Chains A and B, each alone.
Chain A
Amino acid sequence: MLKYILKRLLIFIPTLIAISLLTFVISINAPGDPVETMLNQGGGGDGRSGEKLASEKTYEAKRHELGFDLPLFYFSLTNATFPDTLHRISKKAHRETLQRLSYEYGEWENVSSYYHTLRALESKLYEVEILDKTSSDLRKLKDAVNVLYINYDSEKMAATIENIEFDLFKNKTIKNSCSNAYFDFINAYNQMLVNKSTFSRYIPVLIWYGLDNQYHRWISGFVVGDYGISFQDKRPVSSKIFDALKWSMILSILSIVIAYLIAIPLGVRSAVDKGKWSEKLITTGLFLLYSLPNFWVATMLIQFLGGGGLGWFPTFGLGSLPENAPYWDRFFETAYHLILPLLCLTYASFAFISRQMRGGMLDVLEMDYVRTAKAKGLKKNVVVWKHAFRNSLIPIITLFASIFPLAIGGSFIIEIIFSIPGMGQLTLKAIFARDFPIVFTVLMFTAILTLVGNLVADILYAYVDPRISFSNKK
């Protein structure tokens, strides 16, 4: 048994690695730049050169602090056009454009010099004093440069460069200070176009980055319990999750307890009464309940019992009594707000558990030892509750395993509908805001709880049913 548990625990490792990789791949492919989200800054802006330098410095510093200046992974299998020093380019949008350009034109060196001359041209543009006669042209030129930073489409690039040439030479002041930088840039651009080669994209290359990479930092932080800080409000992920987990746990545990309390007697009853019309009614009812989508039920409850209809129940949040209100007042206010969400959470699981209970009981009732018990004249109740009941619990125990992950993800959509600040809402908001430290942590913990739940269920299974053993004896 111990060996079995150890073996199962070993499977945790590849599972968690797989999940962490999946989340990581999703997070790096997500649109949007997390550094910019955190700094809340727009594009380049067209301030003076000092301002721009300062904002680039803060960007760079933040990027370094968050570890985004590291390579993504231990290694990368890619094609020969892939720039191996790409992670040093600071802005994410620029990186994506450059990678694409490098793929299209084949030579990273040329693309790199294209980028650097473009940067040089931009900084020259920022050095030009903004006067009445230059300001509109300068603005146009800076915008055009920004367009080049995020475009790889050859026609669009050519058109933009034509515009730059036109605006640059129209104005004497700008022409005098920037023409050299512009010629460098044009040379680099032409160099890139002329030396276009597509064959190197078909050469596979393996680049080794070593341990100092973003994934390694992330996963080792997770292992030691450092989950990072949220991109949205800079609070530590652990404290945000802790706050949210409280409500999800309250909802899930309450609903599961209630569901089991109703479901077990109901399931047993409907198995014992098999064939009676009351049983058929219960079974059909349970089936319908089980198939009802809970978000529909929630919407209907809000429509008819909440705001729009009878107005009996609050449908939003957890109440707004101040912190200093008496404890019991706050308690009842919260409980009042939780009635509808709990109802939605409970009905489906209780229908499901009842059906399982019924199935288990039906199987047991057909067994010989139950028939023997009946035959020796025991009362029906004794047979059912004392003899059959314990064995019929076995399938219910497997269900118990699903409780653990349910605590995190089970009430997810109900929380969103009723605006309860639980895990579901936290995660969904995080996903929308590309706040991946939170998404990553939630996914990992849900997976861990699923695995633990399955393991606990299997051990319990062996505990209640001695016929089950996990050793590989034949």
Chain B
Amino acid sequence: MNFLKSILFKSKIKNDNTLDAVNQRESFRGKENESYWSVVRKQFKKNKIAVWSLRIVYLFVVLALFADFIANEKPIAAKYNGEVYFPVLKEYAVDLGITNWDKDFVNVSWKDLEYEWVVWPLSPYLPKNIDFLNTSVGPFEEQQVKSSKWKHWLGTDALGHDVFAGMIHGTRIALLVGIVSMGIAAIIGIFFGAIAGYYGDDKLKMRISSLILYILGFIIACFYAFGTRSYLLSDSIGESFSDFSLELLISFIIFGAIMFVFKYISKGLKKLPILKKEVVIPADILISRLIEIIDSIPKLFLIISIAAVVAKPSIFIVMMIIGLTTWTGIARFTRAELLRVRNLEYIEAANALGYKEFRIIVKHALPNALSPVLISIAFGIASAILIESTLSFIGVGVPAETITWGSLLSSARQDSTAWWLAIFPGFAIFITVTIYNLIGEGLTDAMNPKLKK
């Protein structure tokens, strides 16, 4: 027991990497004329690997944006019956509801039409197209195609889906997963982290009357925003993602409006002397416990069970689940940074000037806390992409007709000789995960120059 006693009286040292980074930052701000971000940019640019990783990300963004022009069953441009058409562009317009297809082109097989001249995309297939003549053919095997234009450059799977087309269109999903899920995670994480860090355990004071009103308001707002609308919300998930986001937005507006009403009621109650007593809400403790609880939930199992019971699987639900379960890292970093920032003099000055707390947090405190958040977003994107491809690899949560890198890779399990199905999609996942990790490392080094000399 002696050792227990001895440590009892020593001070607690928190092993916190971010604090370390912060101290570094203070010290290398020596050159006053340079802004912090320009220094970071300079440091980041010195890291050749990270810079190249960023360039590959740009390349992926381009691939994702122009996927329809790279792999598509329709020609990019063609002259047919004396008229020039741009079918790929036209499809966007049709999807938006601006125009309709000419009756010549409804339900036609584009590749069988007789064009006067035609510009095909690099690969004339969509991921969903099935080539019955060429099932499970490798890139170097004999393929039954009209000409080399129709070759499956990366082979096909057991049903005859073109792997190259799947890879190109899969880029979209991979990037979307990273952006959407980390976007959700960042919003929640920064919100909770900022409250925990800025208010700490002592700054958030509230009158008892307001506290009770807020709790009441929260319950009622939940009821009207989500309870009574639960059927509307769950029906719209089945419809489409945009319907669902619209309904969700309406729910949040209702929620906000009700909270607003209760805020005004609580202002009105200010005059009542009985309820004037103030309580301090330990925001930091509450939120830290919440983070601890969420962190100890076995995430992958949880995500799989949620994804498996959703009535209509969709890639967007997977993104939302990933976002909703992975915000804790961002919240931790934001909290740690704001705990430091809140005691700095300029915040005190802002307080003295009488600025609203919301403004101080958003405009003055948060921008100074963003660097570690950026790092954890970079790593978070890597792990989100990994989680999504794991899910589609085991076939959970992603509908069967959506072709992703993970689902392409999983088709290699059924066909043990189809090496092309194992190598290409897996390599794409690997590269994407690696470059995001490298960018994360590059950012860490750039913001913490002690490690790099």
Q: Which A positions have Cβ atoms within 8 angstroms of B?
A: 1-2, 11, 14-15, 18-19, 22-23, 26, 29-31, 77-79, 100, 103, 201-202, 204, 287-288, 290-293, 295-296, 299-300, 302-304, 306-309, 315, 405, 408-409, 412-413, 416-417, 427-428, 431-432, 434, 439, 442-443, 446-447, 450-451, 454, 462-463, 466-474
Contacts and interface: CB of A to CB of B under 8 A. Distances in A.
Interface in B279-319: 289, 292-293, 295-298, 300-302, 304-306, 308-309, 311
A204 B427 CA distance: 53
Contact of B12 (A77, A309, A472): A472
Contacts of B227: 77-79, 204
Contact of A412 (B223, B300, B415, B422): B300
Given A26-B305, A202-B224, A469 B11 contact: yes
Nearest to A467: B13
A412 B297 CA distance: 16
B245 interface: no
B20 to A, nearest CB: 10
A469 B292 CA distance: 20
Contacts of B419: 303-304, 308-309
Contacts of B13: 467-468
B interface, by DSSP: helix, strand, loop or mixed?
helix
A314 B382 CA distance: 32
Interface string B350-388: 000000000000000000000000000000001000100
A295 B293 contact: no
Contact of B6 (A11, A466, A470): A466
Nearest to A434: B309
Contact of B298 (A26, A409, A428, A470): A409
Given A202-B228, A450-B296, A292 B430 contact: yes
Given A19-B297, A413-B393, 16 more contacts: A19-B293, A19-B296, A26-B309, A30-B309, A293-B386, A295-B390, A308-B416, A315-B416, A408-B298, A417-B413, A431-B309, A439-B301, A443-B297, A454-B296, A470-B12, A471-B8
A201 B229 CA distance: 10
Contact of B416 (A11, A202, A302): A302
B140 interface: no
B215 to A, nearest CB: 13
Contacts of B10: 466-469, 473
A468 B9 contact: no
Contacts of B296: 15, 19, 447, 450-451, 454
B231 interface: yes
B301 A308 contact: no
A468 B12 contact: yes
Nearest to A416: B394
Contact of A466 (B3, B219, B228, B389): B3
Interface string B414-443: 011111001100110110011001000000
Contact of A299 (B11, B12, B422): B422
Contacts of A471: 7-9, 12
B309 A303 contact: no
Contacts of A11: 289, 292-293
Nearest to A297: B426
Nearest to A204: B223
B40 interface: no
Given A468-B12, A468-B13, A432 B298 contact: no
Given A19-B297, A291-B437, A450-B296, A201 B228 contact: yes
Contacts of A467: 10, 13
B272 interface: no
B42 to A, nearest CB: 23
Given A291-B430, A293-B433, A409-B300, A23 B394 contact: no
B39 interface: no
B377 to A, nearest CB: 17
Interface of B: 3-4, 6-13, 15, 219-220, 223-224, 227-228, 231, 289, 292-293, 295-298, 300-302, 304-306, 308-309, 311, 382, 386, 389-390, 393-394, 396, 409, 412-413, 415-419, 422-423, 426-427, 429-430, 433-434, 437
Nearest to B298: A446
B297 A447 contact: yes
A416 B300 CA distance: 14
A215 to B, nearest CB: 17
A211 B302 CA distance: 27
Contacts of B223: 77, 79, 204
A71 B53 CA distance: 55
A99 to B, nearest CB: 9
Contact of A15 (B7, B12, B293, B429): B293
- Top 7 A-B residue pairs of the complex, sorted by shortest distance between their CB atoms: A308-B416, A296-B426, A446-B298, A30-B309, A291-B434, A469-B7, A308-B417
Nearest to B219: A77
Contacts of A473: 8-12
Contact of B289 (A14, A293, A432): A14
A295 B289 contact: no
A61 B304 CA distance: 32
A473 B429 CA distance: 48
A462 B412 CA distance: 48
Contact of B426 (A299, A413, A417): A299
Contacts of B382: 291
A250 to B, nearest CB: 20
B417 A443 contact: no
Given A14-B293, A26-B305, A296 B430 contact: yes
Nearest to B296: A450
A299 B227 CA distance: 45
Contacts of B393: 295, 413
Contacts of A300: 422-423, 426
A149 to B, nearest CB: 18
A293 B429 contact: yes
Contact of A413 (B305, B394, B415): B394
B448 to A, nearest CB: 12
A19 B13 CA distance: 31
Contacts of B7: 1, 462, 466, 468-471
28 contacts: A26-B305, A31-B309, A79-B227, A103-B231, A204-B220, A287-B437, A293-B386, A293-B389, A293-B390, A295-B389, A295-B409, A296-B409, A296-B422, A296-B429, A299-B409, A302-B413, A306-B416, A308-B419, A309-B419, A412-B300, A413-B393, A413-B394, A431-B304, A446-B298, A447-B296, A466-B7, A471-B12, A473-B11
Nearest to B222: A77
B6 A291 contact: no
A2 B304 CA distance: 37
Contact of B297 (A22, A463, A468): A22
Contacts of A293: 386, 389-390, 426, 429-430, 433
B302 A443 contact: yes
Contacts of A299: 409, 412-413, 422, 426
A454 B296 CA distance: 9
A276 B148 CA distance: 49
B231 A100 contact: yes
A450 B295 CA distance: 9
Contacts of A434: 309
Nearest to A152: B231
Contacts of B293: 11, 14-15, 18-19
A413 B415 CA distance: 19
A201 B3 CA distance: 62
A446 B390 CA distance: 19
Given A11-B289, A466-B7, A473-B9, A450 B298 contact: yes
Nearest to B386: A293
A232 to B, nearest CB: 15
A413 B8 contact: no
Contact of A443 (B298, B390, B422): B298
